Structure 1
Amino acid sequence: MLVEIGTEELPPTALKRLSEAFADQLSTQLTEQRIGHGNLERFAAPRRLAVIIQDVQVRQPDQETLRRGPALAAAFDAQGQPSKAALGFARSCGVEVDALDREQTDKGEWLCFRQQATGERTLTLLPALVEAALGRLPIPRRMRWGDGDAEFVRPVHWVCGLLGAEPVPGRVLGLDIGTGSRGHRFHHPDRVQIPRPEAYAEALRAASVEPSLELRRQAIREQVLQLAASVHGHADLPDDLLDEVAALCEWPTALLGRFDADFLQVPAEVLIETMQKNQKYFPVFDDTGALMPWFITIANIRSRDPDLVRAGNERVIRPRFADARFFWEQDRKTPLADRRDALGSVVFQHKLGSLLDKSRRVAGLSRHIAGLLDYDQDEAERAAELAKCDLVTAMVGEFASLQGTMGRYYAQHDGERPGVVAAMEEQYLPRHAGDRLPTSDAGRTLALADKLDTLVGIFAIGQRPTGVKDPYGLRRAAIGVLRILIETPLALDLKDLLWQAAFGYRGVVEAEDAVTQVFDYMMERLPGYYGDMGVAAEVVDAVLSLGPQVPSDIDRRILAVAAFRQLEAAEALSAANKRIRNILKKSGDGIAADIDTTVRPEGLQEEAERRLAQGVEQMRARLAPMHAAQDYEGMLRTLAGLREDVDQFFDQVMVMTDDAELRRNRLALLRSLEQLFLLTADISRLH
């Protein structure tokens, strides 16, 4: 089966997602209608979405429906005449009582009506299935065109549908379904007849359209790499740019262009941003990674005069580079430090003040964090004071994504210390999942302070993220702080840092109440963070249930518990801890109770409890140096040695005895054993 929807140019950044969703929804519709089918092949180009599905059943299978009526005892009277219930049931089924069947079940015999429904032809059902699939596509805003009621992401100009060699009768989105497609807008504007679905791809290729998004992407990649090699360079091929360019053309043709080498005096990041974001060009680099005065563009035509196309692209890029060079030269005339007052006119958040206010808060917090880490406090504070100054430069005004990057260049030009220079860009790290972390001292303190200030301030005014809305990037900020503290690692108390950030808002907003909210929000991110590493959520919960506040320490505990779970003794000890917890809870001596854990040796009667008590005392001595060294994995491995003693204790000793003193002594033993495990985590939470 072939279904193709021909449109005006589709949004390039959404093409791949739309193609996948169309195929998935079409498959779902067929399945819901009990139409069996095989593999799906997706096609997507700027002016079309298409799907070919193998082995489609040409008709729904017949279906028997069974309706159960009244019980036989209630369906007939003593003379065998049908009751009102039987007559009403027969009437609702459209038959006489004599036409009803009987069904024997465990609960008795019932009147029933069996009806055989003949399956409909797939051809008859297809228009409605296609409409339903299109209606479920992830399109935020649909448009109308002409005077019809049809809605889609772009106006639809043709619909092609075939089941084998048979045309699909009917209409979709207000258009009659046909058997033709259309070729390249310029090379082959005429209709392209499709005799059978398996001829679809080759028919379009003959009309200068490569219908496969993946094959176009691959062709672009190969052509770009080949042209870059022709000038002894290599091309940068970011996935998102490659996807977008592949979605912009039907018949890609790569062309090599050149620009004036004098523009290379401008920072490479600026030129690359202009080429990739504005022009969709692929920059070319030499073997050292330096930008070369070449670019590669992808045309959507095979020009009879490619030099003319090349010259046009070179002419377009020249004024953009000239503007960038002007911004670069003008910005450097004013030092970053002299721009700080201008931040006062830029609003950070109307309830939280300007960027200058934020800069002052972050400077104080950076100095505090640097002191905790024994870093250079003056350098950390200086970095924070200059951090946002590049936001009021002409270059960042034009290229917002270069904030931080341009700050680094301008700070270096101003003669700032190397640590301050590095911090200008590192303040935004990590920018996304898997991104690198700041490596300089000032960069780490600034990245932490900036993110913590934003988190506390935005939570304090009641704008925490909800659903998919996160305008201030708080999820990214929370994960960024956790990653810096965990992966660097830095032994800092997160809640203390949040309190310090809240103090910076005194006189602005009441931020103290936000501290616990932000801390809890950040802890809620940890199961997902460790889940990406294959660590189960229950392992994270076993650690967080104890209320630790130092993320680097939390990390050691979580990894230790994850390793402990692999031990043979883990399941038994976890079950034993659950049992201990339940016993203490029933006795009124819960986990948080401040009870006497002193075990009186003379009160130990059974050999099993004496052996466990001795093991606990020996463990306490062995664990002390491990705990001081935060060797949590070593602690849990050592505690695993108690498994046999714990098993024998529960097999041979009655804890809740009627003897009050004996019961108290045994409870104290269990509590002291529990406390040894709680030095690392609450393993009773492991399943």
Structure 2
Amino acid sequence: MRVTRATLLLEIGCEEIPARMISGASRELERCVVEILDEARLEHGPAVSWGGPRRLAVCVETVAGRQEDRDEQILGPPAKIAFRDDGSPAPAAVGFARKQGIDPERLTRIETDRGSYVGYERRRKGRTIGAVIADQLPARVGSMPFPKSMRWAEGTHRWVRPVHWVVALHGKKTLELSLFGIASGNLSAGHRFRSAGTVTIKSPQNYITALERAGVVVEPAKRRKRIAALLADAATQAGGALVEDPRLLDEVADLVEWPGVVLGHFDENFLELPTELLSTTLRHHQKCFSLVDRDGRALPAFLAVTNTDDDPNGHIRRGNEWVVGGRLEDARFFWREDRRRPLETRSPDLAGMVFHAKVGNFADKATRVEALARRLGETIGLDATTIDQAAAAARLCKNDLLTGTVGEFPELQGQVGGLMLRAEGQPGAVAQAVYEHYRPAGAGDSLPESAAGRVVATADKLDSIASLIGVGEIPTGSRDPLGLRRAGSGVFRIVGDAGWDLSVNGLAELCSGGEPVAGFFAERFKHYLRETGATPNEIRSVSRPEIDPAEWRDWPIADVAARLESIAGVRDRGDFEQLADLTKRVDNILTKGAAAFTKAEEAAKASEFEEDQAAAIRLRKKIDADSPELDRLIGEQSYAAVIDLLAAYVEPVEQFFVDALVVDEDDPAATLARRDLLRSLHDVLTRCFDLRELAGQAVRKGS
């Protein structure tokens, strides 16, 4: 039977989805659909998904219209109870045949890995794409995970938002299915007020253009590009420059279906507020973009992204201006009120603010962070002035949690404290350290720029990790409600970037965390390295679990990173396979010869033998000569040169194995001497890496 192929389109239309959920939801829907097709053995081409405020859609090219018919074996009871001695069907076989609806004469003996069974062969007719999708899609879609979901229809349905329409097409043919009680069809919906109503989707190829005519830009990337262009044009027309904000741009692209931009203004008296307060009010509360003049000073204007490019009477502009003005008035009120009291005078009040029920209050935390900042500064060799600045900042860094400004704008904690200290005329280094001590708040956040800021940020994170793990708050599985993994990654980023001579164990010792904290850091550091692009095999090659699983924990973090950087390029070498095989071969001989070595120790000593094989003598001299050079290269973190040094062993080791007999039953002293030679060689080969972990990986893989 000839199987037709056509593009599959699925669209789920619903009420407005929160922007932060759209991207992940569209990818999850794509995964579900592709998984259904693969499990059903329906051949298909590439898939693409789109998401917007009111719809999630998936399009899969060249999907087979039905499954191929296939032959399959149906097994019944074991043959020993299914057939009598004369070969006729026993009751067990007759009952099985009756259940299958076939004549017992069709049953045969079928041999399997588990033994002999009775059974028969049948041809299963392939199901259509419509039957497969109707059967599988509702349950898969219904189980899609969302941070929050809604119930509707008297609580019988639950999803991210109530569903109102479903489009399901295979080519021009409508697939019949029911999703949350909604029957599928070929009718979508256009823009809420730029479209007359329903939109007929004649085919998947017609989907994007049909909706665009109805006021909906389906593709998120296209919406984002259009918004970026509109913002740039509007900023130029306003006589200013746009403050770039990629994250906000991503968010607003998922808030609208037909992008537009309006220019709004606010009272220039609000410019007395710190820039951070202005931009946060605009960004977080109104999703608006800030504007600056040629000198980088804030302008009393903003750009708002709208769900239409039409605002002839200025209603949208005035609405945004009214809300922005109110929010800025709130910000000014809290800022002025907080400025009435110096930040340092709030320190005693921290005792009334709980950090964690089992750990204590924020006054306790500030005391610990101050002590830890001093200890860290001394450990990494900072000058006394910088250490004092870091300690002063640590003592004050949590005080802004008691301010009204942070209460209203919690995303500015730390920054508000730094701004208040700066406004009070306090030392700039202290104010800067307080300002940036929460950095990095995530993978994409910037690092602290000042030396004191790096110290306070690290001390704060170390204290949180040590104190919380100390009371049993260890992250498990995907749960990390207190953000300890994120804090750990932040510590590694700061330490690595600053080049501090601190190891995983050193960090745990610094915060008196003991083995539980050291173990957490070790595991988290490996995850951090994966996040930065290292593969599991590369990490194992550096951590050397088969050599010494714990030694790497005492290496400086920057040193581990340097080793990984050199390992990442080793696969490109022409001698990579020989390098990877070198350690493996030496280790195999030492392992397999263990019994012979033990026997030789009972009969002789290595010192009783004087080596006479030229290849062995040459190898020993090379190892002895390379030892100080290897020490120097490790001290300089010149690990690419270390790999070159190791590569020079390929030929002499090969010659040694050709010329010398390691296990010599007639000469136990020679056996022990050559065993010791191989042990020395093994130490050289595995001192920095274990290249065996990369064997068979000539092409670098990401997993």
Structure 1-normalised TM-score? 0.86
Query: Which of these residues, 433, 456, 467, is aligned with residue 466 of structure 2?
Result: 456
Q: Which residue of structure 2 lines up, in the alignment, with residue 475 of structure 1?
A: 485
Q: Establish whether residue 217 from structure 1 lines up as the match of residue 219 from structure 2.
A: no
Counting only pairs closer than 5 Å after superposition, residues 573-588 of structure 1 correspond to structure 2 as 574-582=580-588, 584=590, 587=594
Q: Establish whether residue 672 from structure 1 lines up as the match of residue 674 from structure 2.
A: no
Query: Take 2:463 and 2:338, find their aligned partners in 1: how far apart are those partners?
Result: 28
Query: Which of these residues, 484, 491, 495, is aligned with residue 501 of structure 2?
Result: 491
Cα 1:560–1:156 shift into 2, 3 Å: closer
Cα 1:259–1:533 shift into 2, 3 Å: farther
Query: Take 2:111 and 2:561, find their aligned partners in 1: how far apart are those partners?
Result: 63
Query: Take 1:174 and 1:91, find their aligned partners in 2: how far apart are those partners?
Result: 38
Q: Is the 8 A contact 1:221 1:237 kept in 2?
A: no
Cα 1:133–1:288 shift into 2, 3 Å: farther
Give 3-state SS (helix, strand or coil) of 1:371's partner: helix
Q: Which residue of structure 2 lines up, in the alignment, with residue 159 of structure 1?
A: 166
Query: Which of these residues, 383, 402, 418, is aligned with residue 412 of structure 2?
Result: 402
Code of the aligned partner of 2:612: Q
Query: Take 1:284 and 1:304, find their aligned partners in 2: how far apart are those partners?
Result: 21
Query: Take 1:331 and 1:417, find their aligned partners in 2: how far apart are those partners?
Result: 19
Q: Is the 8 A contact 1:93 1:113 kept in 2?
A: no
Cα 1:619–1:226 shift into 2, 3 Å: same
Give 3-state SS (helix, strand or coil) of 1:536's partner: helix
Residues 222-259 of structure 1 show CA distances to partners (whole Å, capped at 9, x for unaligned) of 22221112123232453432233232223332111111
Q: Is the 8 A contact 1:30 1:129 kept in 2?
A: no
Count of paired positions: 672
Code of the aligned partner of 1:550: P
Query: Take 2:689 and 2:89, find their aligned partners in 1: how far apart are those partners?
Result: 72
Q: Which residue of structure 2 lines up, in the alignment, with residue 113 of structure 1?
A: 120
Query: Which of these residues, 300, 317, 321, is aligned with residue 324 of structure 2?
Result: 317
Query: Take 1:106 and 1:425, find their aligned partners in 2: how far apart are those partners?
Result: 68
Query: Take 1:461 and 1:478, find their aligned partners in 2: how far apart are those partners?
Result: 17
Q: Which residue of structure 1 lines up, in the alignment, with residue 358 of structure 2?
A: 351
Bigger shift: residues 239-248 or 197-206: 197-206
Query: Take 2:257 and 2:309, find their aligned partners in 1: how far apart are those partners?
Result: 11
Q: Which residue of structure 2 lines up, in the alignment, with residue 550 of structure 1?
A: 556
Q: Is the 8 A contact 1:456 1:518 kept in 2?
A: no
Residues 498-543 of structure 1 show CA distances to partners (whole Å, capped at 9, x for unaligned) of 32322xxxxxxxx545343344334433542553489822332239
Give 3-state SS (helix, strand or coil) of 2:476's partner: coil
Instruction: Using the TM superposition, give the Cα deviation of residue 69 of structure 1 relative to its aligned residue in structure 2, in angstroms.
Output: 7.0
Give 3-state SS (helix, strand or coil) of 1:359's partner: helix
Bigger shift: residues 640-649 or 656-665: 656-665
Code of the aligned partner of 2:227: I
Bigger shift: residues 273-282 or 150-159: 150-159
Cα 1:32–1:562 shift into 2, 3 Å: closer
Q: Is the 8 A contact 1:3 1:51 kept in 2?
A: yes
Q: Which residue of structure 1 lines up, in the alignment, with residue 533 of structure 2?
A: 531
Query: Take 1:629 and 1:34, find their aligned partners in 2: how far apart are those partners?
Result: 56
Residues 595-625 of structure 1 show CA distances to partners (whole Å, capped at 9, x for unaligned) of xxx9859722322222222222222344454
Cα 1:164–1:342 shift into 2, 3 Å: same
Q: Which residue of structure 2 lines up, in the alignment, with residue 177 of structure 1?
A: 184
Give 3-state SS (helix, strand or coil) of 1:552's partner: helix
Residues 354-374 of structure 1 show CA distances to partners (whole Å, capped at 9, x for unaligned) of 111111111112112222313
Q: Which residue of structure 1 lines up, in the alignment, with residue 261 of structure 2?
A: 254
Query: Take 1:354 and 1:78, find their aligned partners in 2: how far apart are those partners?
Result: 83
Q: Establish whether residue 293 from structure 1 lines up as the match of residue 300 from structure 2.
A: yes
Query: Take 2:595 and 2:637, find their aligned partners in 1: how far apart are those partners?
Result: 31
Give 3-state SS (helix, strand or coil) of 1:436's partner: coil
Q: Establish whether residue 280 from structure 1 lines up as the match of residue 287 from structure 2.
A: yes
Q: Is the 8 A contact 1:627 1:679 kept in 2?
A: no
Query: Take 2:115 and 2:391, find their aligned partners in 1: how far apart are those partners?
Result: 85
Q: Which residue of structure 2 lines up, in the alignment, with residue 27 of structure 1?
A: 34
Structure 2-normalised TM-score? 0.85
Structure 1: segments with no counterpart, 5+ residues: 503-510, 591-597
Cα 1:140–1:488 shift into 2, 3 Å: closer
Give runs of ≥4 in structure 1 deviating > 6 Å: 69-80, 101-111
Residues 152-183 of structure 1 show CA distances to partners (whole Å, capped at 9, x for unaligned) of 22222233444444444453311333443333
Query: Which of these residues, 348, 360, 371, is aligned with residue 364 of structure 1?
Result: 371
Q: Establish whether residue 240 from structure 1 lines up as the match of residue 247 from structure 2.
A: yes
Q: Which residue of structure 2 lines up, in the alignment, with residue 131 of structure 1?
A: 138
Counting only pairs closer than 5 Å after superposition, residues 180-195 of structure 1 correspond to structure 2 as 180-188=187-195, 190-195=197-202
Counting only pairs closer than 5 Å after superposition, residues 381-400 of structure 1 correspond to structure 2 as 381-400=391-410
Instruction: Using the TM superposition, give the Cα deviation of residue 293 of structure 1 relative to its aligned residue in structure 2, in angstroms.
Output: 1.8
Q: Which residue of structure 2 lines up, in the alignment, with residue 327 of structure 1?
A: 334
Counting only pairs closer than 5 Å after superposition, residues 515-664 of structure 1 correspond to structure 2 as 515-525=517-527, 527-529=529-531, 531-532=533-534, 536-542=538-544, 545=549, 546-547=551-552, 548-562=554-568, 571-572=577-578, 574-582=580-588, 584=590, 587=594, 603-658=610-665, 659-664=667-672
Q: Is the 8 A contact 2:609 2:669 kept in 1?
A: no
Give 3-state SS (helix, strand or coil) of 1:616's partner: helix
Query: Take 1:542 and 1:498, find their aligned partners in 2: how far apart are those partners?
Result: 21
Query: Which of these residues, 270, 292, 307, is aligned with residue 263 of structure 1?
Result: 270
Instruction: Using the TM superposition, give the Cα deviation of residue 87 of structure 1 relative to its aligned residue in structure 2, in angstroms.
Output: 4.4
Query: Take 2:116 and 2:370, find their aligned partners in 1: how far apart are those partners?
Result: 83
Q: Is the 8 A contact 2:235 2:242 kept in 1?
A: yes
Q: Which residue of structure 2 lines up, in the alignment, with residue 143 of structure 1?
A: 150
Give 3-state SS (helix, strand or coil) of 2:644's partner: helix
Residues 628-659 of structure 1 show CA distances to partners (whole Å, capped at 9, x for unaligned) of 54544434433433333222222222333344
Residues 541-588 of structure 1 show CA distances to partners (whole Å, capped at 9, x for unaligned) of 239743434223333444455566655556545544344445555549
Cα 1:607–1:433 shift into 2, 3 Å: same
Bigger shift: residues 140-149 or 387-396: 140-149
Cα 1:370–1:171 shift into 2, 3 Å: closer
Query: Take 1:100 and 1:534, find their aligned partners in 2: how far apart are those partners?
Result: 51
Code of the aligned partner of 1:364: A
Cα 1:534–1:68 shift into 2, 3 Å: closer
Bigger shift: residues 256-265 or 517-526: 517-526
Q: Is the 8 A contact 1:531 1:537 kept in 2?
A: no
Cα 1:310–1:469 shift into 2, 3 Å: same
Query: Take 2:183 and 2:524, find their aligned partners in 1: how far apart are those partners?
Result: 54
Code of the aligned partner of 2:34: S
Query: Take 1:449 and 1:131, find their aligned partners in 2: how far apart are those partners?
Result: 50
Residues 400-456 of structure 1 show CA distances to partners (whole Å, capped at 9, x for unaligned) of 111222222222223333322221233222222254333322122212211211121
Q: Which residue of structure 1 lines up, in the alignment, with residue 441 of structure 2?
A: 431
Residues 165-216 of structure 1 show CA distances to partners (whole Å, capped at 9, x for unaligned) of 4444453311333443333333445333444444444443343333333333
Structure 2: segments with no counterpart, 5+ residues: 1-7, 598-604, 696-703
Q: Which residue of structure 2 lines up, in the alignment, with residue 447 of structure 1?
A: 457
Query: Take 2:273 and 2:116, find their aligned partners in 1: how far apart are those partners?
Result: 89
Query: Take 1:193 and 1:632, find their aligned partners in 2: how far apart are those partners?
Result: 63
Superposition RMSD in Å: 3.7
Q: Which residue of structure 2 lines up, in the alignment, with residue 375 of structure 1?
A: 383
Q: Which residue of structure 2 lines up, in the alignment, with residue 466 of structure 1?
A: 476
Bigger shift: residues 533-542 or 420-429: 533-542
Give the % identical residues. 34
Q: Is the 8 A contact 1:340 1:389 kept in 2?
A: yes
Query: Take 1:378 and 1:268, find their aligned partners in 2: how far apart are those partners?
Result: 29
Instruction: Using the TM superposition, give the Cα deviation of residue 334 of structure 1 relative to its aligned residue in structure 2, in angstroms.
Output: 2.2
Give 3-state SS (helix, strand or coil) of 2:481's partner: coil
